[in-house]
Amino acid sequence: MTPSTLKKTSKAASVLTMLAKPKGASLQAICKATGWQPHSARAALSGLRKAGHTIERLPGDGKEGGSVYRLSSTPQAAE
């Protein structure tokens, strides 16, 4: 494949993929995957909520510390 045929994935799409996993993702994992600062990652989560996604905030497992975020529903498509 040539570089022009590869499709670039946006950081927001990467965050959605991480949140869609059953275990979800911690803020630290989101920051590491995107290169964002924590305040930027939290702003992205807020933006996803405003776009209609329902994101659960769960207590962390103690390994990474902090909360874990998980996508619980996506916005309904307009009919």
Q: Please state the domain extents for the chain.
A: 12-73
Assess contact for 45 and 55: CB atoms under 8 A: yes
**Contacts of 68 by beta carbon, 8 Å cutoff, 6+ apart:** 23, 24, 25, 26, 57, 58, 59, 60, 61
The string of pLDDT tens digits covering residues 1-52 is 445 454 567 898 999 999 999 999 999 999 999 999 999 999 999 999 999 9
Query: Given this model, what pLDDT does residue 61 score?
Result: 72
* Domain 12-73 belongs in CATH node 1.10.10: yes
Q: What is the pTM of this model?
A: 0.77
